[in-house]
């Protein structure tokens, strides 16, 4: 579909054409009309010139009966009178001939929105679909290469005089089209040194892009029009930036246009000298490969998280009197929630649990049986710690119940913590202590989000192998093999192709993955999140699982609104919980 851009150019899908300008057949068109608005004016003349490679291939010219009188001021301007068009064919006869003559070409006009707007309106009035011609407007191109000190304006007559056009515009359609041909070729001569050499270049030729950036668009030549990952490389083959797209070539080309607004990326493009593509079978594979490449190369122009070791977890320690601890890794034998995006978020979750449960907050290791009583801290006096340090000669069995409640809140039903904090938030709000209520709400949200992540990750992390399929639009299948939450293999089958032999081949050749310590996945946590999102998307079917893939019914995901989980995902997880 053709659309008008802010620069004035009618921009089609040029990216898919990739044709040198000298191989493009252009139809340069001009109209004369009875007014300036297509809604209440008619066409009186159509003139057009068909050119390719600088040579004229043909011309089209016809007066048109607009079905109304030609205003006097229009007759004085164009020389076309009501009497001249009285015997001319109507638009329903002329327009089909013109559209057929221009079929397969690129339309060019000076101030194209005007001429193309009238053609579209006439096409619609006759009940025809608009053919969707690619359209080039010479006005924004002229603004790009003809400065004000060279020409006072960018009218067709001014440009024709500047470029010594062979025909002088005279407000007659064919003469003006001929003059526009000469202007177009002169503009191409000036745009060539700026890197505008292909049809797709015209879509952004009027953009205010630095010349050194525009000249780099050759880096996109030869890139595949397929989903995958691309790597911008700089001096010494340093990987500067890693990105992903469903169309590598189209996405990379956008970096050399005014559509790219990020200063850091423009700086990156200036020093890049190569773009390496990695074609992927599916968008999921592309997203995962992007994440892995970012982690491997740590590109200086990528700002996404690259280091799984910087993800924080909350652990209930494995000791006589457990406590909560913020850690960087997951250890066997202890309940964990997370990962959290930062230590601050993990600390908020710990505070939420401390608000609801009288867990000890001291960091020292306490013996199961103390010989002498310790001194209770201030938190014990406030009722926020059960003070196991004061137990003498016998273990503090009451604290064991507190620790069990904490473990249940981490791995199972968080309702006791949620209800306790909800009551506190209500009391604070009733007392108009809104800042404190907001603080507690943030802690509660951090806790529920961390618990929900762990409970989503755990079943997939413990699953040695899971095979799933999702239908594709052409009628085939997108297949994935996941091992301990890591994408181990993926493929796509075509329409009518039996997917089961492909599944068997994928399982036989998939990457070997060592078992992690759940809930930690055997991959970057963000990769596990990508895989989970794909598995929970509509239409996915489970083909094989080595272990059940399910979550508890009474889990943090039941509080999805606090966890930030969408209703669609929550519905699918509820279904999983029943398996």
Report residue 119 as tokens: 């053609």
Q: Strand runs (DSSP E) across 405-471, as ranges?
A: 466-471
Q: Contact at 8 Å (CB) between 125 and 39? A: no
The DSSP bridge partners found for residue 482 are: 466, 487
Take residue 446 and report the two structure tokens written for it: 């951090």
| DSSP state letters, 105-162 | SEEEETTHHHHHHHHHHHHHHTTPPP----EEEHHHHHHHHS-TTT-S---HHHHHHH
Angstrom CA distances, 32 to 54, 155, 181, 540, stand at 25, 16, 17, 57
Cα first-last separation, the chain: 47
Is the peptide bond prior to 519 cis by the omega test (within 30 degrees of 0)? yes
Report which of 9, 186, 191, 1 is spatially closest to residue 110, judged by C-alpha positions: 9
What does the DSSP assignment read for 210-231?
-HHHHGGGGGGTT--SSSEEEE
* Residue 251, CA distances (Å) to 213, 216, 219 in order: 15, 14, 12
Closest-CA residue to 109 (of 184, 28, 178, 32) = 28
Beta sheet of 274-279, edge-to-edge order: 239-245, 228-233, 274-279
- The closest of 453, 482, 518 to 288, measured between CA atoms, is 482
Q: How far is CA 107 from its chain centroid?
A: 31
Over its C-alpha atoms, the chain yields an Rg (Å, rounded) of 34
Contact 525, 516 (CB under 8 A): no
Q: DSSP letters of 33-81?
A: ESSS-TTT--EEEEEEEEEETTEEEEEEEEE-B-SSPPPHHHHHHH---
- Contact in structure between 121 and 39 (CB atoms under 8 Å): yes
Residue 575 Cα distances to 395, 405, 485, 563, 572, angstroms: 43, 27, 20, 18, 5
Please give the torsion angle defined by the CA atoms of residues 516, 521, 527 and 530, in that order, rounded to the nearest 10 degrees. 140
Beta bridge partners of 3: 11
Between CA 568 and CA 538 the distance in angstroms is 9
Catalytic residue numbers? Answer: 171
Let me know: does 10 contact 140? Beta carbons within 8 Å.
no
Q: Residue holding tokens 């492909």? A: 502
């Amino acid at each position: 579909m053709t659309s008008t851009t802010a620069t004035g150019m009618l921009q089609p899908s040029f990216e898919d054409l990739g044709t040198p300008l000298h191989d493009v057949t252009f139809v340069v068109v001009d109209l004369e009309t009875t007014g300036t608005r297509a809604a209440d004016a008619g066409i009186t003349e159509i003139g057009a010139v068909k050119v390719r490679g600088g040579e004229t291939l043909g011309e089209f010219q016809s007066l048109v009966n607009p079905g109304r009188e030609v205003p006097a001021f229009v007759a004085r301007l164009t020389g076309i009178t009501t009497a001249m068009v009285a015997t001319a064919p109507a638009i329903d006869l002329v327009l089909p001939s013109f559209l057929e003559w221009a079929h397969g070409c690129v339309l060019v006009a000076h101030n194209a929105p005007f001429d193309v707007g009238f053609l579209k309106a006439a096409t619609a009035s006759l009940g025809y679909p608009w053919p969707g011609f690619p359209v080039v407007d010479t006005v924004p191109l002229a603004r790009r290469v003809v400065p004000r000190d060279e020409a006072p304006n960018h009218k067709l007559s001014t440009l024709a005089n500047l470029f010594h056009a062979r025909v002088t515009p005279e407000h007659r359609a064919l003469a003006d089209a001929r003059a526009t041909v000469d202007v177009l070729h002169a503009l191409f001569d000036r745009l060539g040194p700026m890197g505008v050499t292909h049809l797709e270049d015209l879509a952004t030729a009027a953009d205010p892009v630095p010349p050194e950036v525009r000249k780099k668009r050759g880096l996109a030549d030869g890139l595949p029009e397929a989903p995958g990952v691309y790597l911008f490389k700089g001096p010494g083959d340093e990987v500067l930036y890693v990105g992903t797209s469903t169309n590598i070539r189209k996405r990379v080309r956008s970096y050399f246009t005014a559509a790219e607004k990020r200063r850091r990326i423009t700086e990156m493009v200036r020093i890049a000298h190569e773009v390496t593509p990695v074609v992927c079978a599916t968008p999921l594979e592309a997203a995962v490969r992007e994440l892995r490449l970012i982690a491997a190369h740590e590109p200086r122009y990528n700002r996404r998280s690259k280091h799984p070791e910087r993800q924080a977890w909350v652990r209930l320690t494995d000791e006589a009197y457990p406590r909560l601890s913020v850690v960087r890794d997951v250890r066997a034998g202890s309940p964990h929630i997370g990962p959290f995006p930062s230590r601050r978020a993990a600390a908020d979750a710990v505070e939420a649990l401390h608000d609801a449960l009288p867990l000890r907050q001291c960091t020292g290791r306490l013996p199961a049986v103390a010989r002498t009583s310790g001194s209770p801290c201030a938190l014990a006096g406030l009722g926020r710690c059960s003070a196991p340090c004061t137990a003498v000669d016998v273990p503090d069995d009451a604290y064991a119940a507190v620790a069990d409640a904490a473990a249940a809140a981490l791995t199972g039903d968080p309702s006791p913590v949620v209800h306790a904090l909800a009551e506190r938030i209500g009391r604070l709000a009733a007392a108009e202590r809104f800042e404190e209520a907001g603080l507690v709400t943030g802690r509660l949200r951090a806790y529920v989000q961390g618990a929900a992540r762990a409970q989503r990750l755990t079943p997939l992390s413990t699953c040695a192998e899971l095979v799933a399929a999702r239908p594709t639009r052409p009628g085939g299948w997108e297949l994935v093999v996941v091992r301990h939450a890591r994408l181990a293999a993926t493929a796509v089958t075509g329409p009518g192709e039996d997917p089961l032999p492909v599944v068997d081949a994928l399982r036989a050749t998939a990457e070997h993955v060592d078992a992690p310590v759940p809930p930690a996945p055997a991959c970057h946590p963000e990769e596990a999140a990508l895989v989970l999102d794909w598995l929970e998307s509509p239409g996915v079917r489970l083909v094989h699982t080595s272990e059940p893939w399910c979550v508890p019914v009474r889990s943090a995901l039941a509080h999805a609104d606090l966890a930030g989980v969408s209703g669609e995902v929550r519905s699918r997880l509820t279904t999983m919980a029943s398996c």
